[in-house]
């Protein structure tokens, strides 16, 4: 703290001068009036007290000394200056000074205490304002408020400058719903002399409702009787709101927790559902894989059957068995459509794993062969698959057939038309003991197998037609050969024998020559007949192979004493060529030998068959008269056109090397391009 001379002068010397001047004035006045010394002494004491009340302790002492001097000079020994004679009332002056000092000290302490009290009250009021509290005193005897602090007035909304508000008036500020509880609780604590603690609401006009808590302690007198309660009132509105907000937040947390729990449960349920869905999908995939495996097995079996089983009925029976196993059917039937007779005829019945004829299966005779209208063919032919439930009155299955199937325990039927190239070939029907619903994949695979069966039927029928056409063509060719060769040979024999008979009649010596010529022609005709018979056998290669067939052809072409035929093979393997290719090569060899015998008069014919990894060669060589270029180019009556056509169909190269008098060599070179 900085020292200030001006402040010291203002606080010390100015009061001293003012007090001294006041005492001087009083001294002059009292001296003029000739008053007793007690009067100025009292007046001087008043001035000293006033100076002391101003909190000026040093000026008060100084004024006290001035007052003693004035009293001693003017009133104890008037008109005389101070002296040390016994006339000086030292005791009185000291007592006066002591009294002045004591009074001054006491007044200073009182004033200081009063200032501290005011300061404490201010701090208390500020503390009550900040803490929103108040203090009170309530008497038990008359049930009245005897003291309210400023904070108490402020909480209840009254003017703090007035006296404590009467008890009944204060009750009017308590919320009507809380008054009853307040008074009941107050009566209980007064009766039991307990501490007072109560919460209630205060309604102040123009202000929000306050939430208040009051706490009080009982006070007893000397005789132990309860005299009053002293306590504190606290405005807990913010605390209440905070508690309410906290409770709301807690409730929100509980709600959120419940929501999170529910969400968690939903997530867990969704996870479980997804896991179950994944398991189901996995199972479905496994089932689908199993379906595909079964379908693959059925298709593989179908292809194996198609490759290994040549007969149509056996093939269709095995296809039915494959589809039957795939679908798990109890009974199945195959009906083929005869377009000429317009009948649907049961060809095969698959029952208990066995392929049976309708008679063997005990199929009703009335339903073995029916018209398409009776079988409701129009219902089935335009749909890939038709599922019919036999217990359904609207089932398209004919009534009589339905009764037969129901008596067998059949409940569901799956009907598939056999079509190919837009043509209807028949119906495949599969029957089940249970009420069945089929997955699209199952129906699609079954339909694919049925389509293959329909194609097989169509191809088989085409093959039969083609085979019949080929047989007719071959027969026509053989008829031509027979007409060209055997008929001419037999005519020659007849002419030679006729000439011989005429010679015998005329006894000519040349009859023996005619007979020998007829014998040669007969041998030649026999060889030609054998070759023709071999040509009529279409199964010789299928049964024995190309090598054996060529060997048989060569052996049957031998004419003892006139023609020797040889056959050799080198490096050829039967499995390198297909059946039709081998048949065409055999026909080319037959044609080459036949041409040589008819036109070249050879004595030796050699047939060579050789092969390697890329080429098969068939060579037919004779030592006959050969062919001139003009006839070779015209290909008249030589069968060369037929050989060229067969070679072209095989994608083979046909080469003819010949010259008059030097024989003929016919070579067929067939490249191997995956022939099996």
Full 3-state SS string of 325-355: HHHCCCEEEEEEEECCCCEEEEEEEEECCEE
Strand spans (E) along 63-195: 133-139, 144-148
pLDDT of amino acid 424: 78
Average pLDDT in the 447-461 region? 71
Boundary (domain end) residue, out of 204, 235, 266: 235
pLDDT at 302 over 70: no
pLDDT tens digit string along 623-665? 988 877 776 666 555 577 888 888 888 889 999 898 888 889 9
pLDDT band at 83; cut points 50, 70, 90:
very low
Q: Where are the beta strands (DSSP E) in 377-447?
A: 386-389, 412-420, 423-432
| C-alpha torsion angle, residues 128, 129, 130, 132 (rounded to 10) | 70
User: Residue 347 and residue 361: Cα distance in Å, rounded?
Assistant: 11
278 has pLDDT over 90: no
Number of Cβ atoms within 10 Å of the Cβ of 96: 20
Q: How confident is the model at residue 85, as a pLDDT?
A: 40
Q: How confident is the model at residue 676 (pLDDT cuts 50, 70, 90)?
A: very low
User: Which of 397, 422, 438 marks a domain boundary?
Assistant: 438
pLDDT at residue 20 is higher than 60 = yes
The partner residues of 420 in beta bridges, in order of sequence, read 423
Contact 435, 334 (CB under 8 A): no
Instruction: Using DSSP bridges, classify how beta strands 196-202 and 369-370 pair: parallel, antiparallel or unpaired.
Output: unpaired
**CATH code at 559?**
3.30.565.10
Q: Which CATH number is 386's domain given?
A: 3.30.450.40
Whether the CB-CB separation of 585 and 618 falls below 8 Å is answered with yes
> Where residue 19 falls among pLDDT bands split at 50, 70, 90?
confident
Distance (Å, rounded) from C-alpha 301 to C-alpha 322?
7
Q: Length of the chain in residues, anyone? A: 676
Q: Do 87 and 184 belong to one domain?
A: no
Cβ atoms of 654 and 668 within 8 Å: the answer is yes
The yes-or-no verdict on residue 308 having pLDDT over 60 is: no
Mean pLDDT of the chain: 75
pLDDT tens readout for residues 32-80: 777 766 777 777 777 777 776 665 667 777 777 777 777 766 666 544 4
Instruction: Pick 598 or 345 by higher pLDDT.
Output: 345
Report whether 145 contacts 138 (CB < 8 A).
yes
> In terms of domains, do 548 and 669 share one?
yes
Quote the pLDDT of residue 40: 76
Angle formed by the axes of helices 312-327 and 440-481, to 10°?
A: 170
Confidence of residue 164 (pLDDT cuts 50, 70, 90): confident
Higher pLDDT, 41 or 438: 438
Least confident of 30-34, 552-556, 590-594: 30-34
The pLDDT assigned to 665 comes to: 93
Cα(259)–Cα(274) distance, integer angstroms: 21
Residue 242 dihedral angles phi and psi, to the nearest 5°: -65, -40
Domain membership of residue 354 as a residue range: 309-438
Shared domain check, 110 and 74: yes
Q: What pLDDT score was predicted for residue 293?
A: 57
Residues 223 and 140 in one domain: yes
Are 321 and 432 in the same domain? Answer: yes
**Pair 665, 645: CB distance under 8 Å:** no
Give the mean model confidence (pLDDT) for residues 5-30.
74
Q: Is residue 156 part of a domain?
A: yes
Each residue's pLDDT tens digit, 198-231 = 889 999 888 889 888 888 889 888 787 888 988 8
Q: How many CA atoms lie within 13 A of 9 on its CB side?
A: 3
Tokens of 401: 């057939």
State residue 81's pLDDT score. Answer: 43
pLDDT band at 567 (very low <50, low <70, confident <90, very high): very high
Ranges 18-22, 142-146, 482-486: which has the least confidence: 482-486
pLDDT in the model for residue 669: 93
Residues 109 and 18 placed together within one structural domain of the fold: yes
d(C-alpha 355, C-alpha 313), whole Å = 10
For CA atoms 95, 96, 102, 103, give the dihedral sign: positive
Average pLDDT (133-149) is: 84
The residues, any chain, with a CB within 8 Å of residue 338's CB and separated by 6 or more, are 344, 345
Would 560 be classed as within a structural domain?
A: yes
Q: Which pLDDT score, from 0 to 100, does residue 1 have?
A: 44
Tally of structural domains, the chain: 4
User: What residues form DSSP beta bridges with 369?
Assistant: 345
- The pLDDT, as a whole number, for residue 440 is 79
Q: Is residue 569 part of a domain?
A: yes
Find all residues with CB under 8 Å of 386, minimum gap 6, and list them.
Answer: 379, 380, 396, 414, 415, 416
- The model's pLDDT over 89-108, given as tens digits with 9 standing for 90+, comes to 555 555 656 666 666 666 66
413-434 pLDDT, tens per residue?
988 888 766 677 888 889 999 9
pLDDT digits (tens, 9 = 90+) for 230-254: 888 888 888 878 888 888 888 888 8
Of 119, 112, 339, 135, which Cα lies nearest the Cα of 232? 135
pLDDT (0 to 100) of residue 666: 92
Contacts for 591 with CB less than 8 Å, ≥ 6 apart: 639, 642, 643
pLDDT tens, residue by residue, 382-402? 788 888 898 888 888 888 888
Q: Are 209 and 173 in contact, with CB atoms under 8 Å apart?
A: no
One domain for residues 82 and 169: no
Can you tell me the distance from the alpha carbon of 361 to that of 355, in angstroms, rounded to the nearest whole number?
Answer: 9
Neighbours of 273 (CB within 10 A): 12
Instruction: Give, in order, the Cα–Cα distances in Å from 334 to each of 17, 428, 453.
Output: 150, 5, 11
Q: What is the pLDDT of residue 604?
A: 92
Rg over CA atoms, the chain = 73
User: Is 198 within a domain?
Assistant: yes
Strand bridging mode 653-658 / 664-671: antiparallel
Distance CA 463, CA 52 (A): 150
pLDDT given at position 3: 47
The residue that leads in pLDDT, 617 or 543, is 617
pLDDT band (50, 70, 90) for residue 372:
confident
Check which CATH number belongs to the domain holding 162 and give it.
3.30.450.20
Whether residue 93 lies inside any domain: the answer is yes
Q: Check whether residue 668 and residue 572 sit in a common domain.
A: yes
Q: Do 598 and 484 contact (CB within 8 A), yes or no?
A: yes
pTM, 2 dp: 0.36
**In the beta sheet, which residues pair with residue 565?**
605
Q: 168 in helix, strand or coil?
A: helix
- Highest averaged pLDDT of the listed ranges 137-141, 437-441, 470-474, 637-641: 137-141
Of residues 538 and 575, more confidence is placed in 575
Task: Indicate the range of 80-84, 111-115, 119-123 predicted with least confidence.
Answer: 80-84
Q: How far apart are CA 496 and CA 512, in angstroms?
A: 10
Between CA 492 and CA 496, with CA 494 as vertex, the angle to 5 degrees is: 70
Which of 150-164, 183-197, 472-486 tops mean pLDDT? 183-197
The full DSSP string for 571-615 is: S--GGGS-HHHHHHHHHHHHHHHHHHHHHT--SEEEEEEEE-SSE
CA angle 44, 48, 49 (to 5 degrees): 115
The pLDDT of residue 618 is: 94
Last residue of a domain, one of 176, 208, 235: 235
Do 107 and 140 share a domain, yes or no?
Answer: no
98 and 138: one domain? no
586 in the same domain as 619: yes
Q: Looking at per-residue confidence, does 423 or 255 come out higher?
A: 255
In Å, how far from its chain's centre is CA 583?
Answer: 61
What's the rounded Cα separation, in Å, for the pair 611 and 618? 9
| Assigned domain for 12 exists | yes
Q: Are 576 and 595 in contact (CB under 8 A)?
A: no
Report the 10 Å Cβ neighbour count for 520: 17
Closest to 559 measured CA to CA, from 499, 603, 505: 603
Helix (H) / strand (E) containing 657: strand 653-658
Q: Are residues 545 and 667 in the same domain?
A: yes
Q: Measured between alpha carbons, how far is 673 from 424 in angstroms, rounded to an integer?
A: 36
- Fill in the DSSP letter of residue 91: H
In-domain check, residue 61? yes
- What mean pLDDT comes out for the span 399-412? 88
Among the ranges given (336-340, 376-380, 433-437, 557-561), the one the predictor scored with the smallest mean pLDDT:
376-380
Does the pLDDT at position 482 exceed 70? no
Residue 513 within any structural domain of the chain: no
Cα 594 from Cα 271, distance rounded (Å)? 86
Whether the predicted pLDDT of 587 surpasses 90: no
Helix or strand run (H / E) with residue 412: strand 412-420
């Amino acid at each position: 703290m900085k020292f200030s001379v001006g402040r010291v002068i203002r606080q010390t010397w100015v009061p001293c001068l003012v007090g001294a001047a006041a005492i001087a004035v009083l001294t002059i006045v009292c001296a003029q009036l000739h008053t007793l010394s007690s009067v100025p002494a009292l007046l001087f004491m008043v001035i000293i007290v006033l100076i002391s009340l101003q909190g000026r302790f040093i000026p008060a002492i100084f004024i006290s000394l001035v007052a003693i001097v004035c009293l001693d000079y003017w009133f104890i020994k008037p008109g005389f200056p101070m002296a040390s004679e016994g006339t000086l009332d030292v005791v009185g002056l000291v007592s006066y000074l002591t009294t002045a000092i004591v009074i001054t000290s006491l007044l200073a302490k009182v004033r200081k205490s009063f200032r501290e009290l005011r300061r404490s009250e201010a701090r208390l009021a500020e503390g009550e304002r900040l803490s929103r509290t108040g203090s009170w005193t309530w008497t038990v005897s008359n049930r009245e408020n005897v003291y309210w602090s400023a904070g108490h007035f402020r909480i209840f909304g009254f003017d703090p400058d007035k006296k404590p508000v009467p008890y009944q008036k204060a009750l009017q500020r308590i919320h009507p719903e809380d008054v009853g509880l307040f008074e009941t609780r107050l009566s209980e604590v007064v009766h039991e002399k307990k501490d007072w603690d109560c919460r209630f609401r205060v309604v102040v006009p123009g202000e929000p409702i306050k939430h208040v808590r009051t706490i009080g302690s009982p006070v007893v007198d000397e005789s132990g009787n309860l005299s009053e309660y002293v306590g504190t009132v606290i405005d807990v509105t913010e605390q209440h709101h905070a508690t309410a907000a906290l409770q709301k937040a807690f409730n929100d947390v509980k709600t959120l927790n419940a929501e999170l729990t529910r969400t968690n449960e939903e997530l867990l349920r969704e996870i479980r559902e997804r896991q179950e869905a994944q398991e189901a999908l996995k199972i479905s995939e496994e089932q689908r894989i199993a379906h595909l495996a079964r379908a693959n097995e059925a298709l593989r079996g179908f292809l194996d059957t198609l490759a290994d089983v040549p007969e149509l009925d056996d093939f269709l029976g095995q296809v039915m068995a494959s589809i039957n196993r795939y679908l798990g059917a109890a009974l199945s039937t195959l009906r083929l459509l005869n377009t000429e007779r317009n009948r649907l005829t049961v060809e095969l019945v698959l029952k208990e794993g066995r392929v049976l004829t309708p008679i063997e299966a005990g199929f009703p005779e009335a339903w073995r062969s029916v018209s398409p209208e009776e079988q409701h063919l129009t219902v089935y032919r335009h749909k890939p698959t038709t599922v019919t439930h036999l217990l359904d009155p609207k089932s398209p299955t004919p009534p009589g057939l339905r009764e037969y199937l129901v008596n067998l325990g059949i409940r569901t039927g799956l009907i598939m038309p056999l079509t190919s190239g837009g043509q209807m070939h028949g119906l495949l029907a599969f029957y089940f003991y249970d009420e069945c619903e089929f997955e699209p994949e199952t129906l699609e695979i079954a339909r694919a197998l049925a389509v293959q069966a329909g194609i097989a039927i169509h191809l088989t029928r085409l093959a039969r037609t083609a085979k019949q056409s080929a047989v007719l063509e071959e027969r026509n060719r053989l008829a031509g050969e027979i007409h060209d060769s055997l008929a001419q040979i037999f005519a020659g024999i007849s002419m030679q024998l006729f000439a011989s008979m005429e010679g015998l009649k005329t006894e000519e010596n040349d009859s023996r020559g005619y007979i020998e010529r007829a014998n040669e022609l007969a041998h030649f005709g026999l060889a030609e007949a054998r070759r023709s018979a071999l040509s009529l056998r279409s199964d010789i290669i299928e049964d024995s192979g190309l090598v054996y067939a060529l060997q048989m052809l060569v052996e049957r072409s031998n004419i003892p004493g006139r023609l020797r035929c040889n056959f050799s093979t080198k490096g050829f393997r039967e499995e390198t060529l297909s059946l039709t290719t081998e048949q065409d090569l055999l026909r080319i060899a037959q044609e080459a030998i036949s041409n040589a015998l008819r036109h070249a008069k050879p004595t030796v014919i050699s047939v060579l068959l050789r092969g390697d990894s890329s080429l098969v060669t068939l060579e037919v060589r004779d030592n006959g008269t050969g062919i001139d270029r003009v006839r070779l180019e015209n290909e008249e009556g030589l069968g060369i056109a037929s050989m060229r056509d067969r070679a072209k169909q095989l994608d083979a190269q046909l080469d003819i090397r010949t010259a008059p008098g030097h024989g003929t060599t016919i070579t067929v070179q067939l490249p191997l391009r995956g022939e099996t």
